[in-house]
């Protein structure tokens, strides 16, 4: 393929995949990448909804607006929300069917976008309704999960789930906007208590592991821990370190997962900052370290061979949005860096013959739907970035 603008490329991907839409408006389900959790079509349909909304913005073609409406009607249907509570996002024995907080979060952002395109507030109103059905603990600044039958479950202990729920809820501008703001501001105020940042700026995956993690690190010894991190970053973890329970249960697996999710976290932070730009957290040293890590060689190197990175969470689509909204870069530098990230993602995973992200991934349908993440770049930027597929 010769060089084309990212804007034209996104429209072509969307156009070529209309064939995937089912009669009820949904798009094919995936299985949450490397987790292999059987999902319903809700998640991927929500992602496609946002991509087609962007295509409507780019082209003005009413066909795309109609697709958005059809997807949104599916998302608020009894099939997607069978009991009038949270959305039915997965069917995995032993796990909740709402998919924690991340399931409703992804649906919120799609419904908000659908209301913008259709000028019909019924979609965002459902998002607002489901948001307020979730219990919020003001003391710790975290939400409980809400099962699809209305059962209140425990607090979601995965940080990115809490962050995305807050970020997507902040997109809702309905009748109870001020109440949403009050709750999300408590979440923001409590972030320093719930967020663990590694010395290099990496966001740690879990929440309530924080204190235990610190205690184990202190007990292990600062110098030994630092040496381990050096070896980990060089993919050279071996010897006596591998016999230690801290390495086995926390550092090796969770840090690898944390690297793969860093851009996913930062993407949600960029959404939240747009809605609450005056909050003091954005100027904190803690937060600035997380932004600096995105720009580091350490980060890009650690993404290589990481199953939660390019094959699942697409940093090639997430990092450009993060850099645009959070980093202080000159325009030309930003365009060039974005082009490199996007093209690396595409050349690793995109198949020009199928118009899908079905190379080097465990979950082609979900990975393809995640094209939507790049649409949060402004149209004027999308029209400047070129796509160059080396196939």
Answer for the pair 118, 72: CB distance below 8 angstroms, yes or no.
yes
pLDDT of residue 115: 98
Alpha carbon distance 172, 189 (integer Å): 20
Helix axes 177-194, 122-133, angle to 10 degrees: 50
CA distances, 109 to each of 75, 82, 189, 229, 381 (Å): 11, 20, 23, 36, 21
Class of domain 4-387: mainly alpha
β-partners of residue 142 are 137
- The pLDDT score that the predictor gives to residue 196 is 86
pTM for the whole thing? 0.90
Q: Are 164 and 119 in contact (CB under 8 A)?
A: no
pLDDT at 237: 37
What are the pLDDT digits (tens) for 312-351?
A: 999 999 999 999 999 999 999 999 999 999 999 999 999 9
Provide the residue ranges of all domains of the chain, joining segments of one domain with +: 4-387
Q: Round to whole Å and give the CA distance between 154 and 308.
A: 25
Supply the pLDDT for residue 304.
Answer: 93
Low-confidence residues of the chain, pLDDT below 50?
Answer: 209-214, 216-220, 231-248
Tell me what pLDDT residue 247 has. Answer: 46
The count of other CB atoms within 10 Å of the CB of residue 239 is 8
CA 367 to CA 357: how far, in whole Å? 6
Closest CA to 371 of 84, 42, 133, 50: 50
pLDDT on residue 223: 56
Long-range pairs, 21-29, Cβ under 8 A, ≥24: 21/48, 21/67, 21/70, 21/71, 24/74, 24/77, 24/79, 25/70, 25/71, 25/72, 25/73, 25/74, 26/71, 26/74, 27/71, 27/365, 27/369, 28/365, 29/365
Residues sharing a CB contact under 8 Å with residue 158, sequence separation 6 or more, in sequence order: 100, 102, 205, 206, 207
């Amino acid at each position: 393929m010769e060089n084309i603008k990212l804007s034209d490329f996104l429209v072509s991907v969307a156009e070529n995949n209309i064939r995937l839409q089912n009669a009820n408006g949904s798009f094919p389900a995936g299985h949450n990448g490397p987790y292999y959790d059987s999902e319903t079509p809700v998640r991927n349909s929500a992602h496609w909804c946002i991509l087609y909304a962007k295509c409507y913005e780019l082209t003005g073609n009413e066909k795309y607006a109609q697709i958005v409406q059809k997807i949104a009607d599916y998302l608020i249907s009894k099939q997607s929300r069978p009991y009038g509570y949270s959305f039915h996002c997965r069917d995995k024995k032993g796990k909740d069917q709402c998919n924690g907080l991340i399931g409703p979060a992804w649906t919120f952002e799609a419904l908000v976008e659908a209301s913008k395109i259709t000028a019909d507030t019924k979609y965002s109103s459902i998002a607002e309704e489901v948001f307020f059905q979730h219990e919020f603990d003001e003391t710790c600044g975290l939400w409980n999960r809400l099962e699809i039958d209305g059962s209140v479950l425990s607090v979601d202990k995965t940080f990115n789930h809490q962050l995305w729920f807050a970020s997507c809820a902040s997109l809702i501008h309905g009748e109870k906007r001020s109440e949403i703001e009050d709750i999300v501001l408590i979440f923001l105020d409590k972030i320093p208590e719930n967020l663990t940042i590694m010395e290099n700026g990496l966001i740690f995956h879990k929440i309530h592991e924080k204190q235990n993690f610190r205690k184990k690190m202190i007990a292990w010894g600062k110098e030994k821990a630092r040496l381990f991190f050096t070896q980990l970053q060089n993919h050279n973890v071996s010897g006596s370190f591998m016999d230690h329970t801290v390495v086995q249960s926390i550092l090796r697996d969770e840090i690898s997962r944390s690297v793969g999710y860093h851009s996913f976290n930062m993407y949600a932070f960029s959404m939240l900052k747009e809605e609450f730009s005056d909050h003091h957290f954005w100027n904190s040293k803690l937060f600035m370290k997380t932004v600096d890590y995105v720009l580091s060689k350490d980060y890009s190197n650690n993404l290589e061979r990481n199953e939660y990175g390019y094959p699942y969470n697409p940093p090639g689509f997430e990092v450009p949005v993060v850099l645009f909204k959070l980093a202080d870069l000159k325009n030309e530098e930003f365009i060039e860096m974005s082009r490199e990230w996007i093209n690396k993602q595409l050349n690793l995973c995109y198949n020009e013959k199928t118009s899908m992200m079905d190379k080097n991934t465990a979950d082609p349908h979900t990975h393809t739907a995640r094209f939507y993440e790049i649409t949060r770049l402004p149209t004027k930027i999308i029209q400047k970035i070129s796509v160059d597929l080396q196939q």
